[in-house]
Chains A and B, each alone.
Chain A
Amino acid sequence: MKAWKRLLALGALGALLTGPALAQYPERPVTLVIPYGAGGATDISARALAGPLGKLMPKPLLTVNRTGAGGATGSVSVANADPDGYTMLAARVGSHTVNPAMKATLPYTLDDFVFVGVYEINPVVCAVAESSDIQSMDDLIAKAKAEPGSVSFSSSGVGSLLHLAGAMVLNSFGVENPLETATHIPLKGGGEAATAVLAGTATFICTNSSALASFVANEQLRPLLVTTPEPLEGFDAPTASSLGHEELEQLVGWTGIAGPKGLPDEVSATWRDWLSEATADETFVDQMTKRGSVIRLMDPQESQDFINGQYETFRKLVDDLDMRIEG
């Protein structure tokens, strides 16, 4: 598959050398870096998008996984690439708002990237095991306050959305020092984190709805809270705002396309057109909706504002709770 694309790329390059010079972007294949592993949420989302996107683009789109360090390895490789539009990134909530807010030594900042569009939103859901005696957020908070140390939450690692989400939800519901009152148990990956709640290793988890959908449908996990403004289909739980916590609506997962700082405006405009057409593709929308995502394309300015807003919220929380990782 890859070899075939590369061959095609070579052929395209050959045609380019013989034909008249084309001024229009793209003149050669475009690489889309996925900073997470094959089969993960970002990978599936970016590859599903690459389907319709590849048909629109006049030159091939190469999707490559470059994994490691919670998305940092792939992200930094794009941040350091030439801003010519031939190396783009499938950016994710973990790599681009949580990590920058939490990690002092991250080899990039938000300013190193230009966003051409956020196209997918993943609602966040908090859940406990079905066998647990916790029936509601109030129960959970009461338990955490009554016996400090008795409540724990699992995450897919330090600096992941799940890590921040657990702390943010507890804090927002009035637990003063969530990381001292409750125990954070980092695991390797989102699947393990959900399993930990199922097996009783951790009390609760806050993560993307898609990661919990089948557990909730199978009545293995009980949802306590969703962060979307509207109730979420398949999750019988109150919304954050109905419980009086609108601020938690900031807590959502997302995927978007970004390029290195200094990306030319016409490249950005071209991508916006491609994205608006690709995200309207029925098969793509159908696939992603089935996985529990909301497909909604934001234009570059809206994307940038959305991401900066989320970053500021997270950063403030991190500073308040002293969660910043130095060194």
Chain B
Amino acid sequence: MSLMDSLALGFQLVFHWQSLAALFGGIVVGVFAGAIPGVSATMAVALTLPFTFSLQPIYGILLLLGVYKGGIFGGSIPAILIKTPGTPASSATVLDGYPLAEQGKAGKALGMALYASCTADLISNLALILFAGWLASFALSFGPPEFFTLILFSLTIIAGVSGASLLKGLISACLGLLLATIGLDLVYGTERFVFGEPDLMGGLNFIAVLIGLFALPEIISFVWNPSDGHDKVRSLGQHHATFEEYKRSFKSIVRGSLIGVFLGSIPGIGAAPSAFLSYSEARRNSPRKDNFGKGEIEGVAASEAGNNGVAGATLIPLLALGVPGDVITAIIIGAFMIHGLQPGPMMFIANVDIIYALFLGLLVSSVLLFFVGSVAIRLFRFIADIPRSVLFPGVLVLCVFGVYAVNNSIFDIVVMFVMGWLGYFMLRVRMPAAPFLIAFILGPLLEDNFRQAMLMSGGSFDILFRGPITWFFWSVSVLSLVALVRNEMRERRSRLAQEAA
């Protein structure tokens, strides 16, 4: 069967009002669910799954994919407006999105988030369609040693999000690493810092830590000092993202999309590290480096491109190998199986019509996301107009509800409040929260993959240097460390020179 025949078959399946409605409905559900803090894209997909059982396979799967894509974008709305990432993937968006909202430019930030998301989504989908086979075999060559070196390299992000003081960034990262060790040891199953408390055996809930660290300090400092100019009205104003700004950020968007495609096609990494990596790369390469973290529109574009670039690429291992790349695709694989479809190489032969229908549906989804997103931004803009004395109590209620909903656990709410005070303390001493979060996400991955690699090799370090992929990541890690040290030295020298003058 030629490509044209397959495409024609796919066309017949997708261009029905039912499949478009499924996709559209999914995106709407996803955007709104993602916009509620605590309701992550994962949860939205899991809750939608039962509704797909009675649908035809293609409608059901398009519905789920719509929720997935909508959810990842939706998470950026509260990240920008109320400093609370709706899903973990949008944590990096907070860094520049919220300062922009503070300056009364929320409309600009939201617009750029949407443009970057849709562009990255499109690039990611095209990568899936064109390079699925090649990327899938690349992804399979990632064993624990390759993962270890990749994550080691990713840890250099910490320097990029530390702000003014690298030392404070490192302290913050160490705190994150420390808290991430709570729970059960991966290899021996023994308890670490559990203190006999069953609630601690599973480790600290990621969403509770995330919301506590980002959203609560803002609220606590408002309660502490309600009059310090906090009540200025922050409207969306007349600020829209201009084409000029899009063009300026375009390089970062493409870079972020490609980072997303690579990290997304490797099972087990997820969207949050990709967003942070894209952000720190954008900062490193930008002429407006100093403005990052203070409300740089390119930072928003890079983060959103990084996390949406993952969304199409996670389907690469799913469709080409039958391997779920993250929790969301693991749920989507369930939907395939309920309908008697088995993702993997055979599906390209047995159900090629469905594969092509999915491809076409995905391309349409990028366009639909753009329209749904534009409407959603208009609806959510009113949040920016609410005075803080009314908004913050509402946000607090939403945070408590969201954190409880993740695991139906009161303990998680306690964790959120404790993290909130820690975050407040860090805010007071000007210690950045982002390194904490990155260490909290990447630390356990680094440890697990290191130990798995050691198990594989029987304790020999040679395995960490096997193959070209590990060497590649070792070299880029060394390169970025050297660049980092050089930068730091140069800055110190110019500061000294200034003082002398």
Contacts and interface: CB of A to CB of B under 8 A. Distances in A.
B407 A65 contact: yes
Interface stretch (B75-83, B160-168, B196-204, B209-217): B196-204
B344 A72 contact: no
A215 interface: yes
B338 A287 contact: yes
A187 B267 CA distance: 12
Contacts of B458: 149, 183
Contacts of A51: 50
B141 A183 contact: no
B191 A327 contact: yes
Contact of A191 (B183, B191, B201, B330): B330
A159 B343 CA distance: 29
B233 interface: no
Interface residues of B, number: 58
Given A185-B452, A192-B267, A214-B322, A39 B143 contact: no
B331 A220 contact: no
Given A66-B407, A66-B409, A201 B452 contact: yes
Interface stretch (B40-48, B103-111, B301-309): B40-48
A149 B458 CA distance: 8
Interface in B306-350: 321-324, 327, 330-331, 333-334, 337-338, 340, 342-347
A210 B333 CA distance: 12
Interface in B119-152: 140-144
Contacts of B448: 187-188
B53 interface: yes
Contacts of A187: 448, 452
A158 B408 contact: no
B407 A67 contact: yes
Given A188-B448, A198-B140, A291 B337 contact: yes
Nearest to A202: B456
Contact of A325 (B53, B144, B190, B343): B190
B336 to A, nearest CB: 8
B405 interface: yes
Contacts, number: 156
A103 B381 CA distance: 52
A213 B343 CA distance: 10
Contacts of A210: 337
A124 interface: no
B17 interface: no
B327 A39 contact: yes
B268 A220 contact: no
A187 B324 CA distance: 14
Contacts of B345: 218-220
Interface string A178-202: 0000011111110110111011110
A14 to B, nearest CB: 22
A105 B408 CA distance: 24
B330 A39 contact: yes
Contact of A199 (B143, B187, B333, B343): B143
A172 B424 CA distance: 57
A135 interface: no
Given A68-B407, A291-B338, A218 B346 contact: yes
Contacts of A231: none
Contact of B455 (A70, A185, A218, A283): A185
Contact of B337 (A1, A67, A290, A326): A290
A83 interface: no
Nearest to A31: B408
9 contacts: A1-B47, A68-B407, A77-B409, A188-B186, A198-B323, A220-B345, A290-B337, A290-B340, A291-B337
Given A196-B143, A201-B456, 10 more contacts: A68-B202, A77-B409, A185-B455, A191-B267, A195-B267, A199-B140, A201-B144, A220-B344, A290-B337, A290-B338
